[in-house]
Structure 1
Amino acid sequence: MNPPTESSPLESGDNLDGQADELRQEIARLRATKAKLQQEQSDLSQSIGNLVSETLGELERRRQALQVEVEKLERRRDRIQKEMRTTFAGVSQDLAIRVQGFKDYLVGSLQDLAATAEQLDLIPEAQDTPAPSSSPAAPVSPEESPDESPAPQFTPSAFQEQTQQIRRIIDQYRTMPDYYGPPWQLRRTFEPIHAKQVSNWFFTQGGRGAMRTMGSRLQNILVASATVSVLRTLYDDRLRTLVLANSPERLGEWRRGLQDCLGIDRRDFGPDRGVGLFEDPELLAQKAERLTGGGWLPFIIIDDAEEKISLSLLQFPLWLAFAPDPQAAQSAADKF
């Protein structure tokens, strides 16, 4: 067996130098790897930062866009709710007025029909009815047949005393309104513009003519009520007011308006009572002829919704027609 050989000092130094070189190379590689990893980490951090920034920006833009859309939807919701409240309230009120007007007209018509039926003689006369005696007929009382008198004229030269009375009544309505007066007396505030219209109808038009609408049916009813009240003061129960309107709703408004302004009730409405309501001008004209033949004094009121006035109505001594405002009619025509 050979004994171990001992390495020389020179060979040991070379080994150490080789190991040192390997260590230095390894350290260099590790440093390079470290630098590469640090660079990759930096790039990754930057990429993540850019991605987060872009994502946050996109989310912020989407949030702002959604906020704008939400605000638009809220404004639209508020507008729709407002329109619904306004439109529904308006339609409901208009529908309620129409229904109530038709109800009033229908109830009044049924009451008039019942009253007329009660006055009919439904029992047939016996065949052996004795012939009437030759004795003179009993005089008719004034209540059964009103006295016939000439057609009214309201010119100052014709009836000076009546003219003064009419002016006095109109002034009283204008300056001293009585809200709790007797039936057929005006119970509402009477402005100078209303007094001017009524005076013009009496003294300029002589109780026969048209006047421009006052702007609303309620205002027209007020003027017509004042006219009825004056005529009622002059002619008492002999006056019969006949109102013409082309729908049950409008007749219902006239019924309520006259009741309110004159303090009358349903018992004063009917074909043979103080106020008659008509949709057909020919039927109204026939009724006015019968009243005139019986000694009554018909006063015809024509609603402003009537486009034409029947010539058969112009033969009577007292009529008042409300004419539509031409400017309003033109504006309505322009819309179409």
Structure 2
Amino acid sequence: MTSGKSEAAIPRDPQGASPSAEVFLTELLERRQRLLAEIGTLEQRRDRLQEDIRRHFAGSCDELSRRVQGFQDYLVGALQELSDRAQTLELAPRKVMVQPSPLDRPAETVPDQATGAASPFLADQPLIEDMIRGFQDTPDFYAPPWRLRRHLEVGHGEVLTNWLLQQQGRGAQNSLGSRSRNVLLGAAAVAILTELYGDQLQTLVLASTPERLGQWRRGLQDSLGLTREDFGPNANGISLFERSDALIERADRLESRDRLPLILVDAAEQVVDIPILQFPLWLAFAADGRELAMEDLDGDPL
């Protein structure tokens, strides 16, 4: 028993400590040293920032003060200069010489500008009027081909005169009430233009159905004393078209060969393509609502 108690009272040797505890203690000491070093670095940065802020604020205030003082000096100088100029102004009223306005002068004679836009048929006006008067007399049923063989009413003659001399041979006219009357007026136009231009003239008729084109062909053939050989896509007289694009293409080819196309548009064509308007001779008949309604309801020709 005595020997057991003496063994328990003997203190342990510190050299017998665990190696892992020593390693842990060493790491703690190293981390402490690193933290102290970082704290010292941060304190130095803090001191530098405080010094920079102090210097910058003082410099900004000084710069702002100098700018305010400079602007104040500028205002004082500008006001002084303005005051000096005001004192040197001559306040005596000056005499004003009033010149007469050009509008007060007598109007000068201005040449008629409409002359430049005169109809190309004015030089042939006597011949045109004489032919139209002849159309209104007793018709010559045995006249040569391309001469009008039917009677033209006085009112229709006025329409034709207006189209040639006022509209310069290019424009729309109200329908005369029926397709046969429109065809007769177109035939009269063909007769006059054939007299003026001869074989250079080529007539192109636009109507969107074969029935309407048939009425145009028969009416022109009867009114001008023509034959079937004078009609057709390759004929030198009159060509009939159901589509405007084909007509326009044909008219372009004619102009490229120095021919003169005359375009006649049926009254049932409610829209005239813009390219048609570029040609020098075209006559479009415009039907009113009654004529169009009658054709749509009854299927009868205009």
TM-superposed deviation, 1:329: 4.7
Alpha-carbon distance in structure 2 between the residues aligned to 1:226 and 1:159: 15
**Structure 2 counterpart of 1:278:** 241
Instruction: Tell me how far apart the structure 2 counterparts of residues 334 and 268 of structure 1 sit (CA, whole Å).
Output: 34
Aligned length: 182
Q: Provide structure 2 residue ranges, at least 5 long, that are not aligned to the other structure.
A: 1-115
1:224 aligns with 2:169: no
Q: Which has the higher contact order (CA 8 A, sep 6+)?
A: 1
Selected match of 2:162 from 186, 192, 200: 200
Q: What's the RMSD between the two structures over aligned residues? A: 2.3
The reply to whether residue 184 of structure 1 matches residue 146 of structure 2 is yes
2:207 maps to 1:245 = yes
TM-score (norm 2): 0.57
Contact kept in structure 1, 2:122 and 2:165, CA below 8 Å:
no
**Structure 1 residues 178, 155: CA separation in 2 closer, same or farther (over 3 Å shift)?**
farther
Measure how far apart 1:331 and its partner are.
8.4
User: How much has 1:333 moved relative to structure 2?
Assistant: 9.5
Q: What secondary structure, in the 3-state scheme, does the structure 1 residue paired with 2:187 have?
A: helix
Preserved CA contact (<8 Å) 1:210 1:323: yes
Equivalent residues of 1:154, 1:207 under 8 A apart: no
- TM-aligned CA deviation for residue 255 of structure 1: 0.6
Indicate if the aligned counterparts of 1:229 and 1:262 stay in contact, CA closer than 8 A: yes
> 1:261-276 residue pairs with structure 2 within 5 A?
261-272=223-234, 273-276=236-239
Residue of structure 1 equivalent to 2:267: 304
2:268–2:292 Cα contact (<8 Å) kept: no
Separation in 1, partners of 2:117, 2:229: 30
SS in 1 for 2:136: helix
What is the CA-CA distance between 1:265 and the residue it aligns to? 0.5
Name the residue aligned to 2:129. 167
Q: Kindly state the Cα deviation for residue 191 of structure 1 after the two structures are TM-superposed.
A: 1.0
Cα 1:181–1:330 shift into 2, 3 Å: closer
Equivalent positions of 1:116-135 (< 5 A) are: none
Mapped to 1, the partners of 2:273 and 2:136 lie a distance apart of: 33
Distance 1:191 1:331, change over 3 A: closer
Structure 1's unaligned 5+ residue stretches are 1-152
Aligned CA distance change for structure 1 residues 237 and 326 (closer, same or farther; 3 Å): same
Which entry has the higher C-alpha Rg, 1 or 2? 2
Whether the 8 Å CA contact 1:240–1:298 is kept in 2: the answer is yes
Query: Is structure 2 residue 253 aligned with structure 1 residue 290?
Result: yes
Q: Is the 8 A contact 1:154 1:206 kept in 2?
A: no
Counterparts in 2 of 1:276 and 1:225: CA distance versus 1, 3 Å: same
Change (3 A) 1:161 1:279: same
- Partner of 2:286 in structure 1? 323
2:278 aligned counterpart, secondary structure: coil
Tell me the secondary structure at the aligned position of residue 240 of structure 1.
Answer: strand
Q: Which residue of 2 aligns with 1:144?
A: none
Runs of 4+ in 1 over 3 A off after TM superposition: 153-156, 158-161, 326-335
Q: Report the CA distance shift for 1:334/1:294 in structure 2 as closer, same or farther (over 3 A).
A: closer
CA displacement at 1:159 relative to structure 2 = 5.0
